[in-house]
Each structure stands twice: as structure tokens, then as C-alpha cells.
Amino acid sequence: MKKNIIINAVMMLLLIVLSSSCKKDQEIGGTAVQNLSGDWYVRVNNTGAYVILSTYNTSANVATEMWVRSTALKAGTTVIGIQGKVAVDVGNQAFTATNTANIAATKTTIPTFSVANGKVVTNGTTGPVSKTPTDSISFDLTINGVTYKVEGYHRTGFMLDEQP
């Protein structure tokens, strides 16, 4: 009798656990700026090595702003570290910023930066080695009155296209 009570209690507990764990999975969606987001290999003024630049949604996840970040941009020997919010036009895949606060933690102090002519072009280029179609990014970056042209390509995911 006591054995039956224990077995029934265990079965009831098991039934409760199983029934409460059968919830539907949440549908995972994209972000408001997903067509502009990702990791990019870019160069400044079409010289030097490619470095990583990241673009991603803000915590508000709105279609009007995103973060731009790269602490490794270089113009010659000058390191240009930027991290700040830029205004976005998702429909035109464009972005801009005027004197946005720079919160990048780099040795060079750059209090603000501006972005003009920011553009992402879907399948606008190919991976340098794999020749896989990928998006291109370009923008004019102005720091302390000096304008730099930043251009590059979206990471393809192929090891051949990964930059050192």
C-alpha cells in the first residue's frame, strides 16, 4: 500500500513536470536594423590592412539608430577608434551621424565623430578570395576636421576571406 502511494506520487510529479515543460518555443525574429548589421572587413582610404568594424542594433531595437564600432581603424599610423550611435534609414540602407559622442576605449582620445554618405549595398561586392557575393559598406568618417573614406565588405563566413 505504501509502495503504491510512493509510485503514484512520483507519477503525479512526473506528469506535472512534463506538462509544464510543453510550452511553445518563442519565434525568434530579427532586429530592426538587421540588413545593416554585422561584422565588416574595412580599410581606411583604401590602404592598409582590413580590420573589423561592427554595426548592430541598440537596446531600444528601433529602425532609426544603430551602433558603429571599430577600435582598430587606421589611417597610416594613426589609430582611429570609434564607437557611437548613428542615425539610420533602413529603407535606403543608409546611415549618418553628426558630432556623435565617441565612447571607444582607445589610447587616442577622440571625443566625437561624424559619418556622412553611409551606405550598405546588398550583394555590392564579393569576398576577396572566395568570390562569394556579399554586402558592401562605405562611409565618410570625419574626426577633428579630417575626413577618411571607410570601405569594405560583409564577412562571408568563408575562412578564405577572413583577414588576419
Give per-residue pLDDT as tens, 40-92: 999 999 999 999 999 999 999 999 999 999 999 998 888 889 999 999 999 99
Paired with 43 in beta bridges are 151
What 72-76 contacts at long range (C-beta under 8 Å, 24+ apart), as own/partner pairs, is 73/42, 73/44, 73/141, 73/148, 73/150, 74/44, 74/48, 74/49, 75/44, 75/45, 75/48, 75/146, 75/148, 76/47, 76/48
Higher pLDDT, 68 or 15: 68
- Which domains does the chain show, CATH number per domain? 38-156 (2.40.128.220)
- Please say whether the beta carbons of 58 and 32 come within 8 A: no
Q: Give the span between the Cα atoms of 45 and 47, in whole angstroms.
A: 5
The mean pLDDT value for 112-130 works out to 96
The pTM for the full model equals 0.81
- Roughly how many angstroms between the first and final C-alpha of the chain, as a whole number? 71
pLDDT in tens, 131-164: 999 999 999 999 999 999 999 999 999 998 887 6
- Dihedral pair phi/psi, residue 155, rounded to 5°: -55, 130
